[in-house]
Amino acid sequence: MKLKKQFFLNDVLEVAPYLLGKTLVRRFEDGTIKKYIITETEAYRGEEDLACHCSKGKTQRTSIMYEEGSKIYVYLIYGMYWMLNFVCYNEGEPQAVLIRGIVGFDGPGKLGKELQINKEFNEKEISNCEKIWIEDNNKTAKYTTKPRVGIDYAGEIWKNKLWRFILDENI
DNA sequence: GCTGAGATTCTT
DNA sequence: AGAATCTCAGCA
């Protein structure tokens, strides 16, 4: 069954690890439906988190993260890769979980390409979207935590946070 | 308006 | 180590 909106109102540090092992379902333009197991996520949490886009405050790009949880946040990085995120927690407190890996497509850029993610997904409702959704299995997966990737600019405190969650069986 | 850098990946 | 390639933020 689909993950409910309520689930994304929790703190991102609860949401990110819980998403591991869950099934990400994508309905493509031609009607084909494919399912992928989520293997890796990363948490970005609040304006004080220097690695979070919201550390620079509310802008046109980041305004979606200030809304209530369960919205999809998509953006283009390095001019070629679409990143897929889900907004978490309460309105006014920006948090998001980045999907970094799914079975068979290890890396946020690769999975964005495979899922054919584009700017049209931005600001959609993940709990009520006909193109993409997540299926719950009511299980808690075993996982390993590591520092986040690609954020050396965030400073020692935030760089060393263990907010990257990796599904154990996939290592 | 222009410039620099980025939650990446693939090639040299 | 560097290119590919585009959007946004910051500054003029």
- Residues 40-99 of A, Cβ under 7 A from nucleic strand C: 56, 59-62, 76, 78-80
pLDDT the model gives residue A141: 92
- pLDDT(A170) > 70: no
User: What would the pLDDT profile of A131-142 be if each residue is shown by its tens digit?
Assistant: 999 999 988 899
Q: Are A55 and A165 in contact (CB under 8 A)?
A: no
**Short-list A53, A80, A74, A62, CA closest to A117:** A74
Those residues with Cβ within 8 angstroms of residue A32's Cβ, 6 or more apart along the chain or in another chain: none
Rounded Cα distance between A89 and A45, Å, is 10
CB atoms within 10 A of CB A168: 12
User: pTM for the complete prediction?
Assistant: 0.94
- What is the nearest nucleotide to A62, using C1' and CA? C8
Report the distance from CA of residue A60 to the C1' of nucleotide B2 in Å, as an integer: 20
pLDDT digits (tens, 9 = 90+) for A18-47: 999 999 999 999 999 999 999 999 999 999
pLDDT at residue number A171: 45
- We report the CATH number of the domain holding residue A104 as 3.10.300.10
Question: pLDDT by residue (tens digit) across A36-94?
Answer: 999 999 999 999 999 999 998 888 889 999 999 999 999 999 999 999 999 999 999 99
Determine the nucleotide nearest to A51 by Cα–C1' distance: B7
Strand-pairing partners, residue A135, are A2, A23
d(CA A19, CA A84): 13
Q: In this structure, is the CB of residue A151 within 7 Å of any atom belonging to strand B?
A: yes
Number of H helices, E strands in chain A: 3, 9
Count CB atoms within 10 A of the CB of residue A55: 16
Other Cβ atoms within 10 Å of A65 Cβ, number = 24
What local confidence, expressed as pLDDT, does residue A1 receive? 87
Residue A108 to residues A44, A56, A75, A80, A115, Cα–Cα distance (Å): 15, 23, 11, 12, 11
User: Would you state the pLDDT for residue A89?
Assistant: 96
Structurally, chain A folds into a number of domains equal to 1
Domain hosting residue A130, numbered range: 5-167
Q: What is the pLDDT of residue A168?
A: 93
pLDDT attached to residue A10: 97
Q: How far: A139 CA to B12 C1' (Å)? A: 45
